[in-house]
Amino acid sequence: MMRVCVAGAAGAFGMKHLDAIAKIDGVAVTSVVGTNAEKMQAFAADRDIPHCSTDLAESLVRDDVDAVILATPTQMHAAQAIQCMQAGKHVMVEIPMADNVEDSKRLVEVQQQTGLVAMAGHTRRFNPSHQWIHNKIQTGELKIQQMDVETYFFRRTNTNAKGEPRSWTDHLLWHHACHTVDLFQYQTGEEAAQIQAMQGPVHPELGIAMDMSIGMKVPSGAICTLSLSFNNNGPFGTFFRYICDNGTYLARYDDLFDGNENQIDLSDVAVSMNGIELQDREFFEAIQQGREPNASVAQCFSAMNTLDRIEQYLNAAA
């Protein structure tokens, strides 16, 4: 039995991981961590989880914790992931692994020193829609010419994916763009050689840009155009258009359509139609099999490097 601690369990993505784990045989949540002791006690009792705490360190010394999933605020990711590995625990840290390239590098170094499984939560690699595209690329049936991506939310106040207030500030570049930067480089198998970016005004209270445009090109010639906004009052989420040499495809999370909106059957792509469940399965299987997982922190470092270059580009243009 794989025994897991979920930190940030009561948040929007912590709940998604708990729901996913419930569908995976041989894995049990033995500890949850959150910021409110009373809330976490009720949360753990309701789900029959034997331990809860407001201190991650308390969970890390437990014998009934083999691995940790971190669904905590972005600014805590790198330090907590390192803390987990230094305590001898395998770790999956939600995207992004850090909010700067220096912490990302340190995280990779600690993984290499400990030899533990350390994985970043790059769910797009695991959504059946993107897996279908990836499989076609690997067999030579498709080649990407352009990816057009829209990442749109309405977050003029500091709220999470459930619309609840939160104590930390999200970021279009280091969080939301990270999904697409990694996916573009993963699908093409190359790191962006050319980048360009623009951002709109910084919000006077949140201290972040609310609109952003990013362009990338890999050496083989494929380009990616990414539009991001926290000002969009409409359908929320990230929507991908793959323009390929042999067809156009629209990916909306776990679902895939052709360019004429005909849905593509993905039932034979993986054992589940839920990208987060598939991501979690990869984490646990990599631990059990003693191998590097897809979306290891080492594999995802190139995305963090590209984000750093984009940030430098934006700063130079400011």
CATH of residue 171 = 3.30.360.10
Note the pLDDT tens digit of each residue in 23-54: 999 999 999 999 999 999 999 999 999 999 99
* Strands 90-94 vs 118-121: parallel, antiparallel or unpaired: parallel
Q: Which domain holds residue 75?
A: 2-122+276-296
- Do 7 and 82 lie in one domain? The reply is yes
What pLDDT sits at residue 205? 85
Alpha helices in the chain (DSSP H): 12-21, 37-46, 56-60, 77-86, 101-114, 128-138, 178-188, 275-289, 297-317
Reading the block at residue 62, the tokens are 């437990």
CA-based end-to-end distance of the chain: 52
Measured between alpha carbons, how far is 118 from 146 in angstroms, rounded to an integer? 31
- Do 132 and 248 lie in one domain? The reply is yes
Nearest to 1 by CA among 53, 63, 44, 46: 63
What pLDDT sits at residue 170? 80
- Do 265 and 238 lie in one domain? The reply is yes
Measured between alpha carbons, how far is 212 from 202 in angstroms, rounded to an integer? 11
Tell me the pLDDT band of 231, cut-offs 50, 70 and 90: very high
Reading the block at residue 63, the tokens are 């014998």
- Do 36 and 52 lie in one domain? The reply is yes
- Do 176 and 309 lie in one domain? The reply is yes
- Do 254 and 133 lie in one domain? The reply is yes
Measured between alpha carbons, how far is 62 from 220 in angstroms, rounded to an integer? 49
Which of 62-76, 81-95, 155-169, 254-268 has the lowest average pLDDT? 155-169
- Do 182 and 54 lie in one domain? The reply is no
> Is the per-residue pLDDT at 285 higher than 60?
yes
> Is the per-residue pLDDT at 201 higher than 90?
yes
> Is 316:306 a contact under the CB 8 Å cutoff?
no
> Is 151:95 a contact under the CB 8 Å cutoff?
no
- Do 197 and 253 lie in one domain? The reply is yes
Overall number of domains in the chain: 2
What pLDDT sits at residue 195? 98
Q: What are phi and psi of 251, to 5 degrees?
A: -110, 125
- Do 140 and 227 lie in one domain? The reply is yes
CA angle 232–236–241, rounded 5-degree value: 100
Coil, strand or helix: which one is 150?
strand
Tell me the pLDDT band of 159, cut-offs 50, 70 and 90: low
> Is 279:180 a contact under the CB 8 Å cutoff?
no
Which of 1-15, 24-38, 197-211 has the lowest average pLDDT? 197-211
What is the rounded (10 degree) CA torsion for 242, 248, 251, 255? -150
* Region at 222 (left for phi over 0; alpha for psi -120 to 50; beta for the rest): beta
> Is the per-residue pLDDT at 133 higher than 70?
yes
What pLDDT sits at residue 169? 67
101-114 and 77-86 helices cross at what angle (nearest 10)? 10
CATH number at residue 37: 3.40.50.720
Nearest to 251 by CA among 237, 239, 262: 239
> Is the per-residue pLDDT at 165 higher than 70?
no
Residues 55-59 have a mean pLDDT of 98
- Do 63 and 154 lie in one domain? The reply is no
- Do 74 and 130 lie in one domain? The reply is no
- Do 171 and 213 lie in one domain? The reply is yes
* Greatest alpha-carbon span in the chain: 56
Residues, the chain: 318
Return the amino acid letter for 1.
Answer: M
